[in-house]
Each structure stands twice: as C-alpha cells, then as structure tokens.
Structure 1
Amino acid sequence: INSPYIVRFIGASWTRPADVILLTEFLDGGDLRSALESNETQQTLSWHAKLVCASHIALGLDYLHTAMTPKVIHRDLKSRNILLDKAMPGAAKITDFGIARETIDATLTPGVGTQRWMAPEVLNSGKYTEKADIFSFGVILTELEMEIVPYSDLRTDAGKPLVEAYIVVIHPDRDTYISCRLVVCH
C-alpha cells in the first residue's frame, strides 16, 4: 500500500506466528476521536482542519477501493482508526487494517467491525462491498460536525447509556433497508 492517506507499513516482527508485531509510521497527532474529544475545550481542530481531514479520509478510501488490485475493504473505519499529523492541522491517514479484506474473499464475516460506525448490511448479512466503508465514512463526517461519539446521547428506558448499538431495520416485505434505529445490545 503506497498512499499518502494510508499509514505506511514499515515492517513486522514475531517470535511465533500468533505473536506478530507490526511496525508502522508514527503520527504524532493521535487519533481523530481523541482530537474531537479535546476539541470541545481546546478548539484544536478548526473547520478548515476538519475539511482537510475529511478529504484525506476520502482520498484514502478511494485508494483502497479503486487503486488497489484487488480492492480492499477496511471493515472497521472509525475515528479511532484515523491518525492525525500534528505538523499539518487536519492531515489524516487511515490505519488499523486488522480486519480488512480483499474483495475477492469468498466470504466476508457479518458483524465484523465497530457497530456504531457499521453499515446495516455488515451487521445483518455479511454480503457487502466497499460501500460499507462509505457508510462508516458518513458516520465519521457526522462526528467531525458534532464532535461526539455516534449515538452517545441515546439512553435505555432506564436512563443508562447504550453499551453498543445495532443499526438494522429491514422492510418486512423486501430485503432492503429503509431506515435506521437503535436497539440496546448487552
């Protein structure tokens, strides 16, 4: 992978196959989620920086989905998997390809990824394409605007925060998604 919008892989080390350690480039700006959390008090991310960040994520996804052969689906795109460069406000790179898959894989595991950022078809059927990453990107765009974790304001009937969210509603007569709602999942 050779893109200025994807964290560069440098090498790997292991003592046995189950204990692989990957070495990647270091970005000193931390992850996007942490930056958004601190932005509430420190205003570290201006709107210009947020636009730069969004465009870098989009360019990274474009590289994975169109320049790679075969295409690569990230499958866990979220604000914690976007790293920032402190030297250039908003400069962002996609990281954490632990569950990414090439689109030629015969099966893509349903429900893999972080559910608050996950497309409904990933949760439900496991039959999905790179469009699932685009859905996750849309959630990140909302995060950039709102500066909160997706669905963090929702509570159970007892007033407790949701532990995790599933976003799935299927039209009863067809196998198509018509809207989204949240269901508490423990």
Structure 2
Amino acid sequence: MSETATVVSGVAERYANALFELGVETGQLDGIAADIDRFDALLAESADLVRLIRSPVFTPDDQLRAVSEVMFRAGIGGLAANFVKLAARNRRLFAVPEMFRAYRKLLAHHRGETTADVVSAETLSAAQVGDLKAALTSVTGRDIRVNAAVDPSLIGGLVVKLGSRMIDTSLKTKLNALKIALKEVG
C-alpha cells in the first residue's frame, strides 16, 4: 500500500470513528447512513462533484460553498452534512468517500452484519442481489450487506469480496487465464 493510501486510510478511520460515536450518542446511525448513501449516489452521478472533492485547486471556502449547496439541494442535512462541511474546512474532502466506507464498516459491525463488495458487468436486479445475499448468508451465517458496483470490462460473472476472501467468477479473469495457458502451451 502506498504511503498516500495509508494516510488517507488513517484520516478516514479517525473521522469515521468520530461520526459513528456521534451517531451512537444521538441515536442517528441510520439517518447518517441514509444521508451518506445519498451523497455517494451524487458522487456516482457527477464527475464534476468528484473533481470538486478531489482537486487541490479549489480553496476550502470554494469547496465548502459548493458541497453545502449540493447537499442542501439533495436534502442532506444534520450530522452527515456537518461532517462533510468539516471535512471541506479541514482540506479533507478528498477522503470523504473513504470516510463513508469506514463508517459503513463500523455500522455493519455494530449491527452484526458482514459487508460483501460485489462487482458485476451489469447492474444487478433486486432479485439477483437478494439471491446473492441469501447465498452469502448461508455460507457465513451472518446478515450480509451488499455494496454493488459495475465494471463492464468484466464481460460477465461477478467478483465478490467478503472480508479477506475474494471470489472471482468474471469472464475477464477466465479469458486471461486461458490466454496465459495458451501461451504456455505454444
């Protein structure tokens, strides 16, 4: 892991712990989770918003004004909004997505859930996510929360990361393995 990733991870964990503790104290864990899900959805929809939070070119005041307006229009308020604003003031806005991941991890642990990161070639339907949750629950014996992402380069299949285990059934990986096997034969 690079030094930059380690620094971001440490910052993210400290901020996420603080937000989680505030959520426990105020009984707002679920409200915070809903608001950060909404903010993540905004990031997924807007390359401009991603540039805003990642770029060191913008001043903290510019970032604060912009994310404040975005959150206001999206109906994101309370602790989650204050958290993002604090990150902007402290020049940590670039780490907000990682902070949210760390928060979700703490929340899942608090709830007794296990999080599975699932990457598919196409968006999974609600029924497919339900089937996947049921299969993973039967294997682990724990409630599963699925974080789904799409990577069209997989062609088909899934990549499932559950704790330290990773299951890669993607066609991309199978084709790469076949290509390597054919090179060894030839």
Give the TM-score, by structure 1 length: 0.28
Bigger fraction of residues in helix:
2
